Amino acid sequence: MAGAPGVQLIPSPEEVMQILQRTGAFREGHFVYPNGKHTAHYFQMPLAFRYYDTARVLAVALSRKFRIDRDIASQLPKVSIISPSSGGIPVAFGVRDALNAEQIYWAEKEEGKRMFRQYVNQGEINPCIIVDDIIRSGHAIQETVELVRSLGAPIIGCGAIVRFTSAPDQIAGVPIKSLAEFDEKYYDTAAACVECFAGAAEEHVRF
């Protein structure tokens, strides 16, 4: 990718996966999660966002998917970019910058409940675009939709760098945009795991 013109393009899903692999954000191997599930793939998306250049390429690409949506474009800059969790914060800042949106909010889990910081009040939040680094099940997005709606803000967009194909492809009536989709397969037990059967060394990983 050569200079500024490259930033104008939306990289293909293959190029996005190459970026994730190169930065260590996507790994292939034999992984065991704390819940005992086995898998041949592991995503650790913040590893791609530790580099300014890759963070910018990914965030700008995602922002372009929103900007080409006429309904979203017509509401800029009076828009909020919302992250469901800490992993989505660098995505939210990058997308906000590229769209010149007015606000950013991010939710945090407190006592098992997803919430915004105190003193974020009804009516203060602009129409929302929810962004995350990766959508695995869609639960975090769903909880964030409910949180945003409880504060009276409409949801006009939703997206992530990667969406697992097992997650919903739309939420709150808006399609979920992504730069790459991934068909993740989990094995519930070691006995069911192809990698275990092949005798591959396992790595224990966190969510």
Give me the residues that bind Zn ion (CB under 5 A), please. Answer: 38, 193, 195-196
The residue with its CB nearest to Zn ion is 193
Q: How far is the CB of 195 from Zn ion (least distance, A)?
A: 4
Nearer to Zn ion, 6 or 36 (CB): 36
| CA distances (Å), origin 119, targets 35, 85, 123, 151 | 36, 18, 12, 11
Provide the minimum distance between the beta carbon of 190 and Zn ion in the complex, in angstroms, as a whole number.
5
Between 76 and 200, name the residue whose CB sits nearer to Zn ion. Answer: 200
Least gap, CB of 196 to Zn ion (angstroms): 3
Q: And the tokens for 196?
A: 């275990």
Q: Which is nearer to Zn ion, 47 or 196 (CB)?
A: 196
Partners of residue 110 on adjacent β-strands: 113
User: 80-83 and 103-106 as β-strands: parallel, antiparallel, unpaired?
Assistant: parallel
The smaller minimum CB distance to Zn ion, of residues 130 and 193, is found at 193
CB 90 within 8 A of CB 54: no
Number of residues that this document lists for the chain: 207
Residue in 133, 107, 139 with CA at minimum distance from that of residue 120: 107
Separation CA 207–CA 188 (nearest Å): 15
- CA angle at residue 84 from 144 to 39, to 5 degrees? 110
To Zn ion, the closest distance from the beta carbon of 207 in angstroms equals 17
User: Cβ 34 to Zn ion, closest distance in Å?
Assistant: 14
Range list of β-strands (E), 44-95? 80-83
